[in-house]
Amino acid sequence: MSRFALLSFEFKESMMIALRAIRANKVRSALTMLGIFIGITVVVLMTTAIKGIDNSFQKGISALGSDDLYIDKWTWFTNNEWWKMRNRRNITMEDYEKFKDMAKLPIAIAPELDARQSLKYQVNTVDNVFVLGTTADYVRTTNFTFDQGRFFSDVESKSARNVCIIGSDIAKKLFPLGNALDKEIKIGNEPFKVIGVLTEQGSFILGAFNPDERAYIPIGCVFRNFMNRAHGSITIDVRAANTAMIEDTKAEAEGLMRKIRGLSYNEENDFGINQQEGLIDNFNKVTGVIKIAGLFITGLSLFVGAIGIMNIMFVSVKERTKEIGLRKAIGAKRRSILAQFLMESSFICLVGGIAGLIAAILLSFLVNQFIVTSVDYSAVVIAIVVSLITGLVSGLAPAYTAAKMDPVEALRFE
């Protein structure tokens, strides 16, 4: 036999021997599998949940528009001294009007100003909703789609009519039975007519900024009803023509804003031009922590599983000392014994891992109720590779112990 043929023969035979041993000790094998089963279930679920969170964030980002700039009094996600930013002048509607007249590169410009209000329809109430006041152009800075109705028009916006667009979650809470269109709701104490309902964005990770949980009204209504014009600092949403144009659009916006705000060359910007990049960085920091914690927990559960397997394999080796002695006496080499026990532990782990994978897929339907997600191919590959490696690693020490047994001693073992 060639060396390769010999090795493949030995591989096959060790596998058969391992399978026999597993079948012969069904209960013990099943209990051993349990450890890896739990570990793999946790690993796959964790990966799946993290993926779901990522997806949700990406969706939210793309719903808001990834080519957008936000001109704000505050510079987001910096370590600048906040009190300096706090003392900056507000960005006013006048600033916005001037900017809108002068800016050439953006394809859409809209002001926004949030007011935190309660929304009511008959007996249903949703508290602490970020009601966003803006103009008709706002919808062109986003990628919103509508379930029902439309965004408000230029006329409605300019004349500050009491009309609103609500996010899908708000719609569900206020109108559990369905049709929201043309209904009159109360925002604060003011009546507003619902003229549009947004399609669900599913970006729960954005929290209060999740479009599903917001309402949109003309900005004039905010000033009239909820906030003194003098106090609110607006944010100007600017959409670049495309991703390649972001930097140019940003440069133009910076120059224009400095001019509008009358800054001389030696003065610092008293506004921030923010991008979602900042948001993404921040998100990555947060999910990074979640991922590391998740990895640690799953790693720990796998480790515990591996220790369990090692323990049981040691017991199994001890129990089968006489068998090992016999096998050696009739000609098993060290590597045959080593292979036999390694195969056994990796096979147990593989089966446990696959069972864990199936359990995780079933459980992911449950997780799906909270985080939109699904198990993907990478999780399958991870589960199989991780369980095989766990099997090999945890089987190594017991298998080695078995392989180096002295046949005379082993045969004498009772």
CA distances from 293 to 43, 207, 288 (A): 12, 21, 8
For other proteins, give the closer residue by CB, 285 or 335: 335
Minimum distance from CB of 367 to other proteins (Å)? 41
Minimum distance from CB of 399 to other proteins (Å)? 16
- Separation of alpha carbons 310 and 120, rounded Å: 61
Residues 67/246, Cβ–Cβ less than 8 Å = yes
From the list 56, 327, 344, 390, which residue makes contact with other proteins (rule: CB under 8 A)? 327
Minimum distance from CB of 341 to other proteins (Å)? 15
Question: Which residues are bridge partners to 218 per DSSP?
Answer: 134
Residues 6 or more apart whose Cβ sits within 8 Å of residue 266 = none
From the list 329, 362, 381, 385, which residue makes contact with other proteins (rule: CB under 8 A)? 329
Question: Whose CA is closest to 61, among 243, 226, 173, 203?
Answer: 203
- Separation of alpha carbons 91 and 122, rounded Å: 37
Under rule CB under 8 A, residue 333 binds other proteins: yes
Question: Which residues are bridge partners to 2 per DSSP?
Answer: none
- Separation of alpha carbons 102 and 257, rounded Å: 10
Q: Give me the 200-239 binding string for other proteins, x by CB under 8 A, dash otherwise.
A: ----------------------------------------
From the list 113, 279, 332, 338, which residue makes contact with other proteins (rule: CB under 8 A)? 332
For other proteins, give the closer residue by CB, 180 or 332: 332
**How many of the other CB atoms lie within 10 Å of CB of 283?**
19
Residues 368-407 that bind other proteins (CB under 8 A): 407
Residues 6 or more apart whose Cβ sits within 8 Å of residue 28 = 312, 316
For other proteins, give the closer residue by CB, 127 or 414: 414
**Angle 362-392-408 from CA coordinates, rounded to 5°:** 135
Minimum distance from CB of 52 to other proteins (Å)? 46
Minimum distance from CB of 395 to other proteins (Å)? 20
From the list 28, 389, 411, 413, which residue makes contact with other proteins (rule: CB under 8 A)? 411
For other proteins, give the closer residue by CB, 10 or 54: 10
From the list 230, 330, 366, 377, which residue makes contact with other proteins (rule: CB under 8 A)? 330
Under rule CB under 8 A, residue 331 binds other proteins: yes
From the list 102, 326, 372, 388, which residue makes contact with other proteins (rule: CB under 8 A)? 326
Give me the numbers of helices (H) and strands (E) for the chain, helices first please. 14, 10
How many CA atoms within 13 Å lie on the side-chain side of 65? 23
Single-letter residue type at 294: G
Continuous segment of H or E residues that includes residue 214: strand 214-218
Single-letter residue type at 412: R
Minimum distance from CB of 330 to other proteins (Å)? 4
For other proteins, give the closer residue by CB, 22 or 53: 22
Residues 302/43, Cβ–Cβ less than 8 Å = yes
Q: Give me the 6-35 binding string for other proteins, x by CB under 8 A, dash otherwise.
A: x--xx--x---x--x---x-----------
Under rule CB under 8 A, residue 336 binds other proteins: yes
Under rule CB under 8 A, residue 4 binds other proteins: no
Under rule CB under 8 A, residue 187 binds other proteins: no
Nearest 5°: phi and psi at 166? -120, 150
For other proteins, give the closer residue by CB, 182 or 319: 319
Q: Which two tokens stand for residue 4?
A: 């390769």
For other proteins, give the closer residue by CB, 22 or 222: 22
**What is the 3-state secondary structure of 142-196?**
CCCCEEEECCCCHHHHHCCCCEEEECHHHHHHHCCCCCCCCCEEEECCEEEEEEE
Contact window for other proteins (CB under 8 A) among 62-70, 207-215, 271-279, 333-341: 333-341
From the list 116, 150, 318, 334, which residue makes contact with other proteins (rule: CB under 8 A)? 334
Residues 6 or more apart whose Cβ sits within 8 Å of residue 114 = 130, 131, 132, 133
Q: Give me the 305-324 binding string for other proteins, x by CB under 8 A, dash otherwise.
A: -----------------xx-
Minimum distance from CB of 210 to other proteins (Å)? 60
The footprint of other proteins (CB under 8 A) covers 1, 6, 9-10, 13, 17, 20, 24, 322-323, 325-336, 407-408, 411
